[in-house]
């Protein structure tokens, strides 16, 4: 199916010296996650822990920016906490691992919500997470910038805006001699201890900052490791014209701002909410500024992306659009896709993750030729702790199957999915129920209900693997000027699957701790272990997609519907990589509002869907014969 240009936000937007360091031999140990055993691999060149973590230099600098986000007439300074080997004070040049974040004051980082200055005495005793404990002894510096408006940095946050990205870019500029920084006594501080090579890493907002900074093309940024990261803020608060909830940008900015500056920044938050235009859900200049995908042509850094296939916070379309654009620009990259939700790989594949990340940074920041770029590009978790490798994602052999909606043999039963023609002029109707839950949409699938349509395949004759983004085309009339649409692709069949819908989004935190690096009295390298959680049930919602029919022409403009007019509504569901097992059924649900995910419509509109003329494209890799039903 040809991608509809008005749903490709990146397309809309266009209209409006690696320095080598020391190399060391180390015997690599990785964990076979399928067997749960430690295995020895061949000798791999890796940086070794030869520098003292306890004796490392710890400092806070304030980088001068050109920003004035709180509009007080004084340029904002960006606070950066740095830890580096003491030898870097006497000639050793080290690369920098950077985790820029808005969360260092209160919400914290990692599964245990670590913050910097826990006792609020103005002194940073702790570097959250394990990057410092593990990598500083191996010859790296670790820098933790406070995003503009947060923690010790000046100003006000702007939820993905230019100011936030610039506040981190200027830190990389300072590390490469292009900006100035000062200590707490206002004495200038130079970064003469670094090679200038920077690798950014982080989950969620932190990874989002990495994406945004990479899209500026800043010199010195050699690699980014975005984990569950936003690539386009429109897609974080909207889906194809529908709004997830109101006042999102201003609300988030108010949540992360330095707690003493909420009142001073309120006018900024109010402006964010106004410019976001919740009323229409349309794409505008505000969102265009926060769309990093449109600038992917500027990316010079390599990318190691990690994303949850079932992440309903930062959904898979963020990763999908970013990855597809990186592919077109031939950016060097690597990928892990997990069956969890919004979870860090340190908490779902710990030993393998730390080893892989170590080799990734060694290669891109120290220039150590360890062969990591010769390995398969993609790791996909197929079931709990069962991983497979692939050469690319989506799979290059995926073929789009056009699967039509057809009436069932029994008028009291569900419709059917067919790859063949649908002879006759059939239609089915449903009425939007703004309080219908997802569970109500997908259960009792063989029963006709007035507020949803169900189309089912025959039991599959073989396993069927989906890889990519489903696309739906719905030919329908509607009796109101406005409504919502929802589509879900469902796997019907009893199975045990990762419990990504649980509070831990697929993991459970244990009491046992394991250590990753060196510790001090105030900064432990030991973290609670986790384990995967599973559930056994008769179905799995594989992919979801929502749509505002009033944006049927374009995301740029709301166009009220003409009751009774025949429309062709087209939109994408969330990307996935999923195997429907032999004997299971593929189901497609079509309904109106999904109040658990978006602001529901209140019109109670009825849709008359023309079968045969309505269909879904599923990108199928394996089991192609099985979908010829």
Scanning 39-183, the segments in alpha helix (DSSP H) are 131-135, 162-175
Catalytic residue, chosen from 70, 146, 154, 311, is 311
Q: Look up 457 and say whether it is catalytic.
A: no
Q: How far apart are CA 539 and CA 537, in angstroms?
A: 6
Cis previous bond, 394, omega within 30: yes
List residues bridging with 243 in a β-sheet: 238
Closest by Cα among 251, 156, 141, 159 to 209: 159
Q: How far apart are CA 138 and CA 94, in angstroms?
A: 10
Catalytic residue, chosen from 65, 167, 204, 594, is 204
DSSP H helix total and E strand total for the chain: 11, 31
SS3 track for 379-409? EEEEECCEEEEECCCCCCCCEEEEEEEECCC
Place of tokens 């649900």: 589
Cis previous bond, 410, omega within 30: no
Nearest-5° angle of CA 394, CA 397, CA 402? Answer: 85
Catalytic residue, chosen from 70, 81, 282, 342, is 342
Q: Look up 311 and say whether it is catalytic.
A: yes
**Residue 461 token pair:** 């004759």
**In whole angstroms, how far apart are CA 343 and each of 228, 237, 272, 336?**
8, 20, 28, 12
**In whole angstroms, how far apart are CA 195 and each of 65, 201, 207, 374, 431?**
22, 18, 23, 25, 62
Q: Look up 22 and say whether it is catalytic.
A: no
CB count in 10 Å sphere of residue 504? 18
Contact 26/306 with Cβ under 8 angstroms?
Answer: no
Going by their DSSP bridges, the two strands 606-610 and 471-478 should be labelled as antiparallel
Q: How far apart are CA 67 and CA 155, in angstroms?
A: 8
**Residue 174 token pair:** 């300072």
Q: Which residues are catalytic?
A: 204, 311, 342
């Amino acid at each position: 199916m040809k991608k509809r240009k008005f749903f490709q936000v990146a397309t809309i937007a266009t209209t409006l010296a690696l320095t080598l360091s020391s190399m060391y031999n180390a015997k690599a140990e990785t964990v076979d996650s399928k067997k749960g055993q430690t295995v020895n691999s061949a000798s791999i060149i890796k940086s070794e822990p030869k520098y003292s973590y306890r004796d490392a230099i710890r400092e806070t600098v304030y980088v001068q920016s050109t920003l004035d986000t709180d509009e007080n007439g004084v340029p904002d300074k960006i606070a950066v906490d740095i830890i580096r080997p003491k030898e870097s004070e006497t000639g050793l040049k080290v690369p920098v691992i950077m985790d820029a974040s808005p969360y260092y004051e209160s919400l914290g980082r990692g599964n245990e919500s670590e913050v910097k200055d826990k006792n609020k005495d103005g002194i940073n005793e702790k570097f959250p997470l394990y990057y410092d404990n593990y990598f500083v002894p191996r010859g790296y510096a670790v820098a933790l910038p406070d995003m503009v408006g947060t923690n010790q940095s000046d100003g006000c946050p702007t939820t993905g805006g230019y100011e936030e990205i610039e506040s981190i870019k200027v830190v990389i500029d300072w590390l490469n001699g292009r900006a100035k920084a000062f200590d707490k006594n206002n004495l200038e501080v130079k970064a003469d201890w670094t090679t200038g090579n920077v690798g950014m890493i982080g989950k969620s907002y932190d990874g989002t900052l990495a994406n945004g900074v990479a899209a500026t093309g800043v010199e010195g940024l050699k690699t980014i490791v975005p984990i569950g990261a936003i690539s386009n803020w429109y897609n974080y608060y909207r889906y194809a014209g529908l709004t997830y909830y109101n006042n999102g940008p201003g609300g988030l900015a108010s949540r992360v701002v330095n707690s003493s500056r909420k009142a001073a920044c309120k006018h900024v938050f109010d402006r964010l909410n106004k410019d976001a235009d919740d009323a229409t859900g349309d794409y505008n200049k505000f969102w265009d500024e926060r769309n990093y995908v449109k600038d992917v042509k500027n990316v010079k850094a390599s990318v190691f992306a990690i994303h949850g296939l079932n992440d309903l916070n930062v959904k898979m379309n963020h990763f999908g659009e970013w990855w597809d654009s990186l592919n077109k620009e031939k950016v060097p990259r690597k990928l892990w896709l997990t069956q969890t939700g919004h979870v860090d790989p340190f908490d779902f594949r710990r030993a393998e993750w730390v080893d892989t990340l170590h080799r990734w940074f060694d290669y891109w920041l120290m220039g150590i030729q360890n062969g990591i770029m010769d390995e398969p590009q993609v790791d996909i978790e197929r079931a709990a702790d069962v991983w497979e490798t692939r050469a690319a994602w989506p799979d290059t052999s995926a073929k789009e199957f056009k699967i039509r909606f057809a009436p069932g043999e029994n008028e009291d039963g569900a419709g059917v999915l067919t790859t063949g023609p649908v002879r006759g002029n059939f239609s089915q109707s449903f009425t939007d129920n703004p309080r219908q839950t997802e569970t109500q949409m997908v259960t009792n699938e063989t029963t006709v209900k007035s507020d949803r349509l169900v189309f089912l395949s025959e039991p599959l004759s073989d396993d069927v693997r989906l890889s990519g983004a489903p696309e739906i085309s719905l030919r329908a009339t509607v009796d109101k000027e406005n409504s919502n649409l929802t589509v879900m692709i469902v796997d019907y069949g009893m199975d045990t699957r990762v419990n990504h819908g649980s509070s831990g989004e697929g993991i459970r935190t244990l009491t046992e701790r394991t250590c990753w690096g060196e510790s001090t009295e105030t900064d432990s390298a030991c973290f609670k272990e986790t384990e995967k959680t599973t559930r056994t049930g008769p179905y799995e919602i594989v992919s979801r997609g929502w749509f505002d029919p009033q944006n049927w022409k374009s995301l740029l403009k709301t166009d009220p519907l003409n009751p009774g007019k025949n429309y062709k509504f087209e939109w994408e569901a969330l990307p996935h990589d999923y195997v429907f097992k032999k004997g299971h059924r593929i189901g497609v649900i079509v309904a109106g509002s999904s109040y658990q995910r978006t602001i529901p419509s209140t019109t109670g509109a009825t849709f008359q869907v023309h079968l045969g003329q309505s269909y879904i494209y599923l990108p199928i890799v394996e089991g192609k014969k099985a979908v010829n039903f």
